[in-house]
Amino acid sequence: MKRLLLFDIDGTLVSGGPAKSAFEDALAETFGTTGPEGSTDYSGKTDCQIARELLRAVGMSDADIDRGLPTMIERYLSVLERQLDSNPMTVLPGVHALVDALRERDDLALGLLTGNVEGGARLKLSASGLYDRFAVGSYGSDSEFRDDLPAVAVSRARSTWGVSFPPDEIFVIGDTPRDVSCGQAHGARTLAVATGRFDARQLGQAGADHVLQDFRETARVVELLAG
C-alpha cells in the first residue's frame, strides 16, 4: 500500500434516502425543536455540528445540547434504519465500478472520511452494498469538526495496514468545498465530484486538485487517483 483514498458519503457515493427527515424527527423528539427552518447548510458538516448549529440558533446552551446529543443520535439511527427499506439510498453513477476497480489494486487503500456518525455511515452504505468495501473510516462521531477527521483516518489506516501514509499520498474525495478544505488542511490531495449540490466551477474555485462531473469514466478516475 502506498496511497490512501478517503471518500465522503453523501453526494459522493450515495444520495437521497431518509436521513434528513430521520435527523429532524430525532431533533424534535429529543429537544422539542428542529431549529429555525432553512437556516443551516448541511453540506460538508458533521451530524453533531449540524445539530449544534440548529439548536444554538434557537437559544439552546451548549450544555443542554451536549446532554441531549447521545439520545438524539440514538433516535436518529433507529428511525434511519426503519426507513431505509421504504426510502433507499441511490448509489451515484459509476460508484460500484470505481470502488471495485480501486480495490483490485494492491497499491491503494480505501477508507471513509464523512460527517456522518459511524452508525449512520454503516446503515447508509450497508443498504447500498458498499460498507464492506472500506476497511477504515473517520466519522462525525469521532469529532464535531471535519478538519480533525483526516488525522483520525490516517491513524486507523496505519493500524490496519502498517503504513504511515504521508499527506501527499492521501486523496480526500468529496462533493463540497468543505471536503476540499478538509483535505487541504491536512496537506492531502483532493478530488471533487459534482454529484452533490455544488457544480464543477464552484468546486474548482474551492481549490480542488481535480474536479469531475461524476465517476462514470472508471479508467480515468483510477488513473487520477493512482497516478
Domains held by the chain: number: 2
Same domain, 159 and 203: yes
pLDDT at 41 over 80: no
Work out the average pLDDT over 24-42: 88
Same domain, 126 and 173: yes
- In tens, the pLDDT along 94-137 reads 999 999 999 999 999 999 999 999 999 999 999 999 999 999 99
What pLDDT score was predicted for residue 52? 96
Record the cell numbers describing residue 159, joined without a space: 493500524
What pLDDT score was predicted for residue 178? 96
What pLDDT score was predicted for residue 130? 97
| pLDDT classification of 40: cutoffs 50, 70, 90 | low
Among the three residues 48, 67, 83, which one is the final residue of a domain in this structure?
Answer: 83
Same domain, 7 and 65: no
pLDDT at 138 over 70: yes
Helix (H) or strand (E) holding 55: helix 47-56
Record the cell numbers describing residue 113, joined without a space: 472520511
In which order are the strands placed within the sheet that holds 189-193?
A: 136-138, 108-113, 3-7, 170-174, 189-193, 210-212
Same domain, 64 and 114: no
Write out the residue range of the structural domain in which residue 62 sits. Answer: 19-83
Same domain, 95 and 42: no
Among the three residues 83, 111, 129, which one is the final residue of a domain in this structure?
Answer: 83
What pLDDT score was predicted for residue 39? 60
Indicate which CATH number applies to the domain containing 101: 3.40.50.1000
- In tens, the pLDDT along 163-179 reads 999 999 999 999 999 99
The phi and psi torsions of 225 (rounded to 5 degrees) equal -80, -30
Same domain, 170 and 108: yes
3-state class (DSSP) for residue 5: strand
Same domain, 114 and 78: no
Same domain, 38 and 123: no
Work out the average pLDDT over 5-30: 97
- In tens, the pLDDT along 74-95 reads 999 999 999 999 999 999 999 9
Length of the chain: 227
Same domain, 75 and 161: no
Among the three residues 68, 83, 98, which one is the final residue of a domain in this structure?
Answer: 83
